[in-house]
Structure 1
Amino acid sequence: MGGVISEMVERARAICDEEFLAKELGHIKTTFFSNGYPAALISSATTHATARPEEHVPSPTAPLLILPYYNGLGEKIKRMGRTIGFQVYFKSAASVRSIVRNDKVRMAPNEKAGVVYEILCTCSASYIGETGNTLSHRYEQHLCYEH
């Protein structure tokens, strides 16, 4: 349960200006206490969350470098980037499996439900509609009512 309190304190620290932080922390404590949280838990979680150093948020102007991760080399690059002001992030390299394999089942356009469609009639009129059914089902309905 203390995680919820800690997260609220962290959020307050991240969002509030210094002049409003004490008042916001008081509000958080009061709210949790009035909702039945034990005072000892509230105090402990609040103290623990405020004792943590604020996370370093990279400056928006710091250059960003995204590289594939290689064990051993990645840590050195990240450390070097930190010393010269780069933000280094890693992504996993594409595997042959991820390139070749495609599990997504593709539906034929006439089997998709919930589509907007246009049907051109033989009398040069057109009908635009939207259906929750499949397109083929709706087309069959139009053929039944053809004028």
Structure 2
Amino acid sequence: MVVSSRWYRKPSNKNLLVRMDSSHPTQQKVNTIRTTQKTATGNSTTDQLKYSMDLAKKVLITNGYPPNGVLPKNNKQCRQHDSNKDRSNHPILPIPFVSDSVTNLVRSSLYQVGLEATVVELKGKSLRDLLVKNRLFDVRCARRHCRVCPEIGEGGCEKKGVVYQIDCDCGEIYVGETGRPLADRFNEHARAAEKPDSKSYLATTWAKLSREKHGGRSLNISLKVLDMERNTVRRKILEGIHIKALNPTLNTKEELTDLVANMDILE
């Protein structure tokens, strides 16, 4: 398979990448180079590999990247962390991304005073995020017997990218996140809470709670929205932050373990 000539057209919007001179983290630009090169190699036969790599190089150069595909190193960048070091107990410090120098200054300052923390760069609100949240026609609910809208307001069932909290009337708390419509995820929780003795739900958190504290009876649960974030990685970070703050009794804490294990993609 050969990469089509349509993949490289100098004036085409299809070749617009994260530009080298844009205000994005350096690691994101490094990933842009890697992804472009990987796309070229992954969609080419061996005899057409050079041709595809030349096309990838042209696309990168068009977007301001160096011809050799290697970004200059920042000598002022703070010391890199040891990838083998256990960081499961390190606090997470999310900061808005301003520039690489600002992020490095925060990291080096923490290092100088002896504080061990994982600094995570978060981008600001995009125009798309602002417009999507303000779409007037999203406030309508078209679901029959909707479980979500009575809890958080009309139209809340269709919200996507939500960090949520579920409370049982016995005082137990669960914190979760979903990129799907909130109603789809909450309905799964609600069905397990309503029928904890069903074979399909015996292994769920709600069935276990029912057996331990409610004598196997159905549970009465309520829903609360904690945060909204469409980006999956940032949403999981927010979930971990809320789990740390609320210490929910029903979470297995696997969310925090998975978060720490995947922190390298953010740095």
Q: TM-score, normalised by structure 1?
A: 0.31
The structure with the larger Rg is 1
Greater helix share, structure number = 1
